[in-house]
Amino acid sequence: MSFKANDSLTEQIAQYLGNKIVSGDIAPGARVQELRIAAELDVSRGSVREALLILQRRHLVDIYPRRGAIVSSINRDDVRELFELWFLLLEQVAVQLSQHWQNDDLAGFIEIMTELGEQHRKGDTEAFYHTGVSFLSLLYQHAGNRYTQQMLFDLLPQAQRSLYAILRAGKGQLDRTHAFLDSLLKAIIARDQAAIRQMVPEFGSAYSLLAQASAEALAQ
């Protein structure tokens, strides 16, 4: 693993393990072995333990006395509850940005949407997924409330597990997601809060059903 100077060691370990959980390389219910991870990454066991505490806050692992860290489940109820909160906060942040954006606040979004458009045209699901996560991360930075922002960033890894499964389900979901993000950005630019308040819950409900079905299939 190569480390980035701008991130703490603990955060980089958490991101490394989180990516493996999101992609399914470490399955729900699997035990995360601290010693093996420490040896694999050539870091201390204490650093791995601290990273697992971050992943616990992000809902990717559960930590039990004498059992250690276990990758959290993501069943139908987990997904439904996650999406209810996630899209409620997402709507709030999108409305906030539509009310208060100024000057170059939207330049990053326009650049990301250009990338998403190209990836959508090519059918590059993997790249589209990662760029879509970048869109969400940038949007969260405009929450206007540090508690809302922190909650969204803590929910993001768990949400990524569902997004990853949905986008890999076929081109139709890629089309739907691209259309939603494009329409959302246009509504933000137009400061059309009514459109945002309509489209975000509608898309969230549809996406939630897809994610619940995916979670149910994995559990069988």
Residue 214 has pLDDT above 70, yes or no: yes
41-82 pLDDT per residue, tens: 999 999 999 999 999 988 889 999 888 899 988 788 888 998
Give the pair of three-digit tokens for residue 137. 């991360």
Question: Which pLDDT score, from 0 to 100, does residue 6 have?
Answer: 46
| Region 134-161 average pLDDT | 92
Give the separation between CA 219 and CA 74, rounded to whole angstroms: 9
* Alpha-carbon 102 to chain mean position: 26
- Give the whole-angstrom CA distance, residue 210 versus residue 162: 9
Predicted local confidence at residue 91, as pLDDT: 97
Q: What is the pLDDT of residues 89-112, one digit of tens each?
A: 999 999 999 999 998 999 999 999
pTM metric for this prediction:
0.80
Q: Are 14 and 1 contacting, i.e. CB atoms less than 8 angstroms apart? A: no
What is the DSSP-derived secondary structure letter of residue 26?
S
**What is the Cα–Cα distance from 67 to 52, expressed in whole angstroms?**
13
Cα separation, 105 vs 193, in Å, equals: 17
pLDDT in tens, 149-186: 999 998 888 888 888 878 877 788 899 999 999 999 99
Lowest mean pLDDT among 14-23, 33-42, 188-197, 210-219: 210-219
What 3-state DSSP class applies to 32?
strand
